[in-house]
Amino acid sequence: MSIFKGLSRASASQAVDQHYYLITSLTSVHKEPVAQIDWQEISDKQAPARPEASNRLEQEATARLNRYRPTLPDRLFGTTAGKTARLEKAVEAAREKDDSELEKAMATYSLDREEWEKMHRLAVGILNKDPAAYNEAMVRFNPFTETAPSDAQPRFLFDPDAVQVEFYAHSEEIIPKFSVSLTSDGKLSKKEMAIFKFHELYQNHICSYLLRTARQVLALLPVDFVLIHVLTGLADPEKDKIEQKPILSAAIYSQTLAKLNFDLIDPSDAIKNFKHNMQFSKAAGFKPVEKLDWTSLTRKAR
């Protein structure tokens, strides 16, 4: 155990808070809100209305021209022709502005119409359970941009009623190997984390990430379940190297997932509500497992 005497009480307290926040954020990603996409609403949405030509500005300028009556000073100083010419130019300028506004409105309409057609076609495909549409939606919206480890975007396989996701999780190195606390006199204390606690936190991180992934997929696509395989680097004693191996494989069904209170659950315990393969002990951590069989699960779904 180490005691940091040089830190002020405020700095020590801040260090403890930051450590707590890190641990909490790593084990609670499943709690983050997920936006549900209503494909039926998107399918029912009407196409944008085509802009209609308008000469409103020209009419207003013409009305000003028609209302003009030379005043006595206009006639005395000969300014009638000049004022009339300016009003006629204003009519022409107004006509050009009407045309310009229509041109801009048509450009906006073309983009809106193109986007509407894409989304409408995509929504119809998804409502018809087209795997190609599922893939397009996943590419288009990619809910994993911020949550996936760098250069480790998930890989997908699509079925009319299910989605398979395989992703590489952060290694154990993401979990701090030490814990911090305040001593009775306000100093910062740092000590090595107990191995069982370290493994427990990593298990919660993996399970939390899996649940978050399931929520993201099921919020995007109207499928019955998502089969998720989590892989990470594990030491292979025989080959004396690190290899990417599955450590958790779970079939997350939407109806069961919807019943969970994500603010209250322990992510590792929550996995027990679903068919899964996981070999874990607090003393040794994760061991490699067999992936659940995608073919048999999708066959049962039909």
- pLDDT of amino acid 1: 45
For residues 164 and 157, is the Cβ–Cβ distance under 8 A? yes
For residues 200 and 217, is the Cβ–Cβ distance under 8 A? no
Residue range 205-228: average pLDDT? 95
Pairing of strands 225-236, 188-192: unpaired
For residues 210 and 228, is the Cβ–Cβ distance under 8 A? yes
Query: pLDDT by residue (tens digit) across 278-293?
Result: 999 999 999 999 999 9
Which residues pair with residue 236 across a beta bridge? 241
Residue range 87-107: average pLDDT? 94
Residue range 190-217: average pLDDT? 93
How far apart (Å, rounded) are the C-alpha atoms in residues 215 and 231? 19
As a dihedral over the C-alpha atoms of residue 157, residue 162, residue 141, residue 35, rounded to 10 degrees, the angle is -150
Identity at 234, one-letter amino acid code: L
Which residues pair with residue 166 across a beta bridge? 155, 229
pLDDT mean across residues, the chain: 89
- pLDDT of amino acid 226: 97
Which residues pair with residue 51 across a beta bridge? none
- pLDDT of amino acid 181: 77
How far apart (Å, rounded) are the C-alpha atoms in residues 109 and 59? 24
- pLDDT of amino acid 218: 96
Q: Which of 98-102, 158-162, 167-171 has the lowest mean pLDDT?
A: 167-171
Query: pLDDT by residue (tens digit) across 9-26?
Result: 777 778 777 888 888 889
Cα of first residue to Cα of last residue in the chain, in angstroms, is 57
95 pLDDT band (50/70/90 cuts)? very high
How far apart (Å, rounded) are the C-alpha atoms in residues 40 and 125? 11
Q: Taking 50 as the threshold, does the pLDDT of residue 70 lie above it?
A: yes
Identity at 21, one-letter amino acid code: Y
Question: 178 phi and psi, to 5 degrees?
Answer: -135, 165
Q: For residue 4, give the H/E element and its range.
A: strand 2-4
Query: How many C-beta atoms surround the C-beta of residue 166 within 10 A?
Result: 17
Nearest residue to 256 via CA among 234, 296, 225: 225
Identity at 209, one-letter amino acid code: Y
HSE, CB side, 13 Å, CA atoms: give it for residue 68.
18
Identity at 232, one-letter amino acid code: T
Q: Taking 90 as the threshold, does the pLDDT of residue 152 lie above it?
A: no
- pLDDT of amino acid 188: 74
Q: Where are the domains of the chain?
A: 2-34+143-301, 37-142
Buried b (16+ CB within 10 A) or exposed e, 23-38: beebbbbbbeebeebe
Residue range 213-242: average pLDDT? 87
